[in-house]
Structure 1
Amino acid sequence: MSKEVALTETPFDKRHLCWFCEEPAGGLFTFVSPQTSAVALPVCRECKQIANTRELDSLYEYRLYVKDTLLKRYAKHLAIGSNWTREELEDSGFDCKILGGFKKSAWFMYEVARDRINARGWPLTVNGLPVEESVTDIGFEHGGLTFSSLNAAAHHFSQTQGLDEAFLCALVKILGRDRFGYALRLANLYRVASAKEKKQFLREIKEDEAQL
């Protein structure tokens, strides 16, 4: 016997949006759990396709998975915001036939990708009751982007800026998550350093931090 599916309630101002990324919705994603009633929520076509590739235990886990997938899929679009400002693009001089299209569309592509990653959705309820217990947000924010975790942020910036991810993570471990931006700058400074030089620098900065 098929399980009855309840449609989640959506705030009026979000009624046409995807719960995952808040782009226009184009269908429903059905979440079936042995512990709770099956529910359907509005989603866009892309997020639905992503979510349907996994069988996870909670909507919170689906949310993290979809966000991390979008982050990897649109890393090049998001890198635009790391490397340029809107004003710099406008004054870039990219007016030739090859680069003119990039100049016109680049910032828009970045904003769309950024807003999809940062979208927080809304509390899911059926008949006024929450679908799942609320989960404490363990995300991490940097550079105008919200990541599912500190590790996801380190992976993203390592990929888009060509950094040694292990070295960056080691720096963050020493400096702390609140100084992630500083760790990024140091990782950029040591982008072409040898493994020996990086190891020596980590040892020195660890000693310096211990004296503070």
Structure 2
Amino acid sequence: MSYGTEQLAARLKAAREAKGLSQRELSALAGVPQSHISKIENNAVDLRVSSLSSIAHALDLELMLVPRKALPAVQSITRSVASAPIINAATQRELDRIRETVNALASHVSGANIDDLQRRIREITQIQSQIDPEILQKVRRTIESIESSGSNEAVNQAVENIRSLRNQLAHRAASHESPRAPRPAYRLEEDQDG
């Protein structure tokens, strides 16, 4: 096998593990037999484009042909995205349940408070950080309690709790980034007036 396929197999395996999926779970999502996924990850089989496409889609990845001249820009962008932590499966499930709960609540209650609550939930889901599913369960329970009370005070409290969580996550994500020296956007050629 070539170095290119070894590197591709390693990236697929890393993406699967980062999503918290087993080979069996990925098999169910991609429609590719688990034994074939194992062989692909161990670089023991030639990778077919159809299998690669199915697995990539299941891992929320896209395949595309990039002009060689644009490759450095694409690699730079993908490096910055790949270095961001990926939300694990349990956290994703809890975020989905929170969205469903808020949408159900929005069908019963309307107003600026509910719109603000929906906006705060979107903000949390956009932060690419590991969120503890237990914290999200507490948030969901708070939102579910709003359904029974229906009070604006309960909605405001939920909005405040979610805003606080969002700020904590944002600050945690910022503190984990490695500090870099600022780089100039461009450089002027130095004069050669010797």
Question: Which category describes the TM-score, using the shorter chain as reference length?
Answer: 0.3 to 0.5
Structure with the largest fraction of helix: 2
Could you tell me the TM-score, scaled by structure 2's length?
A: 0.32
Structure with the largest fraction of strand: 1
Instruction: Give the structure with higher Rg (CA).
Output: 2
Could you tell me the TM-score, scaled by structure 1's length?
A: 0.30
